[in-house]
Amino acid sequence: MRAVLPSTDPRHSSPRIGDLPDPVPGPSEVLVAVEAAGINHADLLQLRGQYPPPPGESEVPGLECAGRVIGAGSGLWLPGARVMALLGGGGHATRVAIPSGQLMPLPDNLSFAEGGAIPEAALTAWTNLVAEGGLQAGETVLISGASGGMGSFAVQLARELGARVLASGRDRDRLELLRGYGVEEICVAGSHLSHQVQEATGGRGVDLVLDFVGGSELPGHLASLRERGRLVLVGLLAGQKAEVDLGRVLSRRLRIVGSVLRPRSRAEKALLVSDFNAFALPRLKDGRLRPIVDRVVPFEKAADAYRALERGGVFGKVVLSMS
């Protein structure tokens, strides 16, 4: 198979395409011919040697893909079925072996490129809005880094969960594009973020912050919370360190949850996928939920796609096409 080769020198993180043996699926796995695969910041970190795959997962980058089942499959997964999947690794290749519980049907109204942009973003949003964040209908949520691939799907999912959605980021023009996806208020990231949030909520603050950036933005996110508000920290694009007013955390009884998806067990991922499917599959089929794809790049030009994500400024997901 063709694949993005595992990095052997973290000083040179540009992806290289080469040949590797086809994966051999285990008894609870399904072999899939990959048609498209999304790129995530975790893939950039993996090539730099900063985010190794969990034990037992492929050394090839790629946390999500869409394609066709080519093995005998398992259970309902018959050869030829159009699928998308959440992966622990291995998606940036023409073949991948996937735990059967992490597969999802790809609705006929979605292309493979769109399907390749869904699983990691969707399951990250579901895990952290619902399982970790406990978002309820009628609550207000602030989604940081909202114009990226993760944030843009989280915006739609929060809307479908019945929440009022505020979006933050550094590019107002790109944030404005999200109004058609359920965002009610735009807040520009920076030192005045919490003031914008308080104004947008009548001084109440938000019930939940989904924080994709961390770092220097974390204090503003905490200041945006109402009393007993929750913050789920998912990413560290703005850095790993922050100065936090612990007095605010105590006096307002705030909750801060750190959350990562990739290291969770296959059994836990299967449960999350099942719960997400029950809620979201009908909404994917009728268009209420839809991934935002910034661009689709041929697989053999993967280095260009990785560089585009690293430069920033994309709206939605960057997707590799194997066709």
What are the tens digits of pLDDT across the range 23-57?
999 888 999 999 999 999 999 999 888 899 999 99
Between 238 and 262, residue with greater pLDDT: 262
Q: What is the mean pLDDT of the chain?
A: 94
* Tokens 């048609």 -> residue: 35
Strand ranges for 5-111 from DSSP E: 17-19, 29-39, 64-69, 82-86, 95-99, 103-105
Q: Distance between CA atoms of 142 and 200, rounded to whole angstroms?
A: 11
Alpha-carbon radius of gyration of the chain: 19
Quick check: 98 and 119 in contact, CB under 8 A? no
Quick check: 323 and 296 in contact, CB under 8 A? no
Mean pLDDT of 100-127: 97
- For the domain covering 133-258, report its CATH number: 3.90.180.10
What pLDDT band is residue 107 in, cutting at 50, 70 and 90?
A: very high
Tokens of 66: 């869409």
What pLDDT band is residue 82 in, cutting at 50, 70 and 90?
A: very high
pLDDT computed for residue 279 by the predictor = 98
Model confidence at 12: pLDDT above 80: no
pLDDT computed for residue 72 by the predictor = 66
**Where is average pLDDT lowest: 19-23, 52-56, 99-103, 203-207?**
52-56
Quick check: 31 and 70 in contact, CB under 8 A? yes
**Where is average pLDDT lowest: 75-84, 181-190, 204-213?**
75-84
pLDDT computed for residue 119 by the predictor = 98
Q: Distance between CA atoms of 82 and 140, rounded to whole angstroms?
A: 36
Per this entry, what is the length of the chain?
323
Amino acid at position 133, single letter: G
- For the domain covering 2-120+266-321, report its CATH number: 3.90.180.10
Q: Distance between CA atoms of 254 and 256, rounded to whole angstroms?
A: 7
What pLDDT band is residue 17 in, cutting at 50, 70 and 90?
A: very high
What phi, psi does 122 have (nearest 5°)?
A: -65, -45
Could you tell me where in the chain the CATH 3.90.180.10 domains are found? 2-120+266-321, 133-258
3 state DSSP class of 32:
strand
Mean pLDDT of 302-311: 94
**Where is average pLDDT lowest: 5-14, 145-154, 162-171, 265-274?**
5-14
**Where is average pLDDT lowest: 47-51, 134-138, 280-284?**
47-51
What pLDDT band is residue 73 in, cutting at 50, 70 and 90?
A: low
Model confidence at 6: pLDDT above 90: no
pLDDT computed for residue 74 by the predictor = 58
Alpha helical stretches, state H, 201-301: 218-223, 246-251, 266-285
